[in-house]
Amino acid sequence: MGAIGSVLSSSMLLYIVRRILWGAFLLVVVSALTFVIFTVFPSADPAALRAGRQATPELIARLGEWGRTQSPEHMRSLFA
């Protein structure tokens, strides 16, 4: 039973490692795709969306300037 147990455990370990690697790969692909969709195809001005429905143009301009100066390109997906 020792030889069969080692084969089963090694194949199970391989299965677990393969599933974890595919999960990590899928997470990276979905994150990159989401980032590209929201940066290339913006649906609206993020500052206007963040400001709310009754925002003044001054507030929207301030929030837009803050978003461009405070967050680098690769971090915009976290704050937008």
pLDDT of residue 27: 97
The residue with greater pLDDT, 17 or 43, is 17
The DSSP code sequence of 32-50 is HHHHHHHHHS-SS-HHHHH
More confident call, 58 vs 19: 19
Q: Give the count of alpha carbons within 13 A of 1, CB side only.
A: 0
Bigger pLDDT: 59 vs 8? 59
For the chain, what are the domain ranges? 1-41, 44-80
> What is the chain's mean pLDDT, rounded?
77
Find, among 44, 43, 39, 42, the residue nearest to 71 by Cα.
39
CA distance 44 to 25: 30
Length of the chain, in residues: 80
